[in-house]
Structure 1
Amino acid sequence: MTLNPRQTALLEEVRTQGFASIDELARKFGVTLQTVRRDVNMLAENGMLARFHGGVRVEDSTTENIAYRQRQVLNAEGKARIARAVAAAVPEGCSLILNIGTTVEEIARGLVHHRGLRVITNNLNVANILADNPDCEVIVAGGVLRSRDRGIVGEATVEFIRQFKVDIGLIGISGIEADGTLRDYDFREVKVARTIIEHSREVWLAADASKFNRQAMVELAHVSEVDRLFTDAPLAAPFDQILADSGVQCVVAERE
């Protein structure tokens, strides 16, 4: 197929950034929302991009996640809003487990001024961020260090986390399918996240809009096992109904 110059530029923009909202693309290229939607629908139908509610992203692999450095800048503004919403909901003087992921790391930055926290983590980036909070005790799980993102995984990590029962288990995820299944790429990471769910009195999930309808290989859980979902855009069908049916509280971190 042949792309016009705008469509070619739009495709390059999304490939460079990894993610873009429909509003952002319309502003950048000086066209209407309807024009952008037609362009991205055509690109998605031809397998060049993947659509999700409110935006578009690079087409995903089901077996390998986007590179960590790229994920750090992917929808950074939305992740920052999610982090602020989560930090506002976390009470002082509570215990938490924080797992692997760039959204979770942003949440850790939002907790650096909280008092009396006890945080268990299998993420060295989270530990390093919260080390700047003198009123937060950080407990780092042992296990196999994953050099690409400083996550710690493996059976030793699972056994370590099984010692605890915390107030809040806060997890990120790579993809949420249309039936509410939560999925990730690394089965070792999934086993750790599964253990976090089982050893938390409340489970909070942080997932920006790009994670919905995104496929990954390994099943973690169903969204009905989550107590609160924090995201950065209103949910479209079928996710809004799935959360309502499951009794999951959805917190949308809107733009200020």
Structure 2
Amino acid sequence: MSQTFRHSEIIDIARRDGRVTVEGLAAHFGVTLQTIRRDLSDLAEAGRLDRVHGGAVLPSGITNIGYEERRALNTDAKTAIAAACAAEIPDNISIFLNIGTSTEAVAHALGQHANLLVVTNNMNVANILAANEGCEVVVTGGRLRRSDGGLVGNLAAETIRKFKFDLAVIGCSALSEEGDLLDFDIEEVGVSQTILAQTRRTFLVADRSKFTRSAPALIATLAEIDTFFTDAVLPDALARSCAEWETGVVVAPPGGGLPQPGS
């Protein structure tokens, strides 16, 4: 395989898994460790990866990757997480679903639910749930973010304040080692914080790639979340923190395995 094709696939693997290792890539491509180290150095010089001990991670930044690219990432993990989350959502409640490809996966998983009032600032969620006659769908106002169909700003927050939801399902762009939920858009952060203030319970849906990403704006912490649905066991320190905060963790592995308690 040529260097150009290796570089492209290395980036794809990093986006899928959040990080890459020298040994793992060498085994994957059947090349020497030295070759992979050169590849990672080239990608780091181009600003496409940040080198870390033993491998590389996606670079920290202040802008998110493109929406269609995010939608295509970790689809099996998002499907498993969404199924586990939907299984914990009863019929006959009010629920908020916010912006993100993970919450869209949850909307797909709600296809058989009945008598739900679903409020959303995600045009894609609204379109998905339009096919479920058992859901009454309310779309907030707000400024349309054409890149992902999200509605943000003061008008979205004002609509949300008119409700008290039984449950909110939210996503995030990144999750720090300390359990901070992070995002890139300060307007979206303000809306997410309003959602948290207007709900009785909150579920977070986020796959393992969020553990190794960074974003500049703080939404909340896992201490404010009732249950966190993900696809990988949490790092030990974060798992201990979730136990102290009484934040439930459900690990839903891709490929059909049964969801497991994560802490």
State TM-score, norm by structure 1. Answer: 0.84
How far apart, CA to CA, are the structure 1 residues paired with 2:207 and 2:89?
18
Q: What is the aligned partner in structure 2 of residue 120 from structure 1?
A: 119
Q: What is the aligned partner in structure 2 of residue 157 from structure 1?
A: 156
Q: What is the aligned partner in structure 2 of residue 227 from structure 1?
A: 226
Q: Is the Cα contact below 8 Å between 2:121 and 2:139 reproduced in 1? A: yes
Q: What is the aligned partner in structure 2 of residue 201 from structure 1?
A: 200
The count of residues paired between Structure 1 and Structure 2 equals: 244
Q: Is the Cα contact below 8 Å between 1:177 and 1:215 reproduced in 2? A: yes
Q: What is the aligned partner in structure 2 of residue 135 from structure 1?
A: 134
Identity of aligned residues (%): 39
Q: What is the aligned partner in structure 1 of residue 98 from structure 2?
A: 99
Give the C-alpha shift of residue 127 in structure 1: 0.2
How far apart, CA to CA, are the structure 2 residues paired with 1:132 and 1:107?
14
The residue type equivalent to 1:188 in the other structure is: E
How far apart, CA to CA, are the structure 2 residues paired with 1:57 and 1:80?
24
How far apart, CA to CA, are the structure 2 residues paired with 1:127 and 1:106?
12
* 1:12 and 2:8 correspond: yes
Q: Is the Cα contact below 8 Å between 1:117 and 1:136 reproduced in 2? A: yes
* 1:65 and 2:61 correspond: no
Tell me, which stretches of 5 or more residues in structure 2 are unaligned?
A: 257-263
Q: Is the Cα contact below 8 Å between 2:114 and 2:135 reproduced in 1? A: yes
Give the C-alpha shift of residue 19 in structure 1: 2.1
Give the C-alpha shift of residue 49 in structure 1: 3.3
How far apart, CA to CA, are the structure 2 residues paired with 1:248 and 1:51?
33
Q: What is the aligned partner in structure 2 of residue 251 from structure 1?
A: 250
How far apart, CA to CA, are the structure 1 residues paired with 2:89 and 2:12?
34
Q: What's the C-alpha RMSD, in Å, of the aligned pairs?
A: 3.0
Q: Is the Cα contact below 8 Å between 1:17 and 1:74 reproduced in 2? A: no
The residue type equivalent to 1:215 in the other structure is: S
The residue type equivalent to 2:49 in the other structure is: L
Q: What is the aligned partner in structure 2 of residue 168 from structure 1?
A: 167
Cα gap change, 1:134/1:219 in structure 2, threshold over 3 Å: closer, same or farther?
A: same
Give the C-alpha shift of residue 95 in structure 1: 1.0
Q: Is the Cα contact below 8 Å between 2:48 and 2:58 reproduced in 1? A: yes
How far apart, CA to CA, are the structure 2 residues paired with 1:51 and 1:232?
25
Q: What is the aligned partner in structure 2 of residue 80 from structure 1?
A: 79
How far apart, CA to CA, are the structure 1 residues paired with 2:179 and 2:169?
18
Query: Pairwise mapping of residues 11-30 of structure 1 onto structure 2 (< 5 A)?
Result: 11-16=7-12, 19-21=15-17, 29=28
Secondary structure, counterpart of 2:178 in structure 1: coil
Tell me, which stretches of 5 or more residues in structure 1 are unaligned?
A: none
The residue type equivalent to 1:154 in the other structure is: G
Give the C-alpha shift of residue 9 in structure 1: 4.9
How far apart, CA to CA, are the structure 2 residues paired with 1:51 and 1:247?
35
The residue type equivalent to 1:148 in the other structure is: S
Q: Is the Cα contact below 8 Å between 1:64 and 1:185 reproduced in 2? A: yes
Q: Is the Cα contact below 8 Å between 1:224 and 1:247 reproduced in 2? A: yes
